[in-house]
Amino acid sequence: MLWHDSCRTVLLHQGETKATIMKAMRHWENHTCLSFVEREPHHKSYIIFTVKACGCCSYVGRRSEDEPQAISIGKNCDKKGIVIHELGHVIGFWHEHTRPDRDDHVEILLENVVEGQDFNFKKMDSGEVNSLREPYDYSSVMHYAKGTFAKPNKDETIRPKACCPRPLIGQRIQLSPGDVRQTNKLYGCPSEFS
């Protein structure tokens, strides 16, 4: 489910973490037609930033018409790029490396993944995710890095198949051009945001 008009937010964090969250929201606003506004009492559906045991986590898309939805910004998650990534989930995006066509672009090394984290690498069915005809995006902020959730003494959980040089994956700096295009398609943004 998508957000209507704007994503309403409640910030429980203070200080530097609050400032980081605000910067991440402004980043989305500067590149898309999305806006994040402070929740008002009549808003029944909104995003609440909190800290949960999962650390950095969020549901994908708007979950309910009449209930709050949490984004956890826990310990070591209070970096602008990580918050941009978690907001990507709330906006409606799964991890790039879980796309139905991912096997054409990356190799997932499940034997190198820490026990209990393999769900983060599950390939989605075409009925579960719509990439809006955008090509696979190695530079997406929604893509994991090559060693995300790697076991000790293992370097890779994801290996790009593209070669010479292999593309870097897992950046947490900014939205990629593909992230921007896909968001603007998903939300029907005016052409000046394309």
4 appears as a binding residue in the annotation = no
Residue reference for tokens 């500067």: 30
**Cα distance between residue 122 and residue 157, in whole Å:** 12
Respond yes or no on whether the N-terminal peptide bond of residue 152 is cis (omega within 30° of 0).
Answer: no
**Dihedral angle sign, alpha carbons of residues 181, 149, 23, 7:** positive
Catalytic residue status for 86:
yes
Residue reference for tokens 């018409």: 65
Amino acid of residue 29? E
Residues shown for the chain:
194
| Token pair recorded at residue 37 | 């506004």
85 appears as a binding residue in the annotation = yes
Measured at the CA of 73, the angle between CA 24 and CA 88, to 5 degrees, comes to 45
| Token pair recorded at residue 174 | 């900014």
Pairing relationship of beta strands 158-160 and 68-73 according to DSSP bridges: unpaired
Task: Count, in order, helices (H) and strands (E) of the chain.
Answer: 3, 7
**Active-site residue (options: 86, 115, 156, 192):** 86
31 appears as a binding residue in the annotation = no
Q: Which residues are annotated as a binding site for Zn(2+)?
A: 85, 89, 95
Binding-site residues, please?
85, 89, 95
Q: Mind telling me the catalytic residues?
A: 86
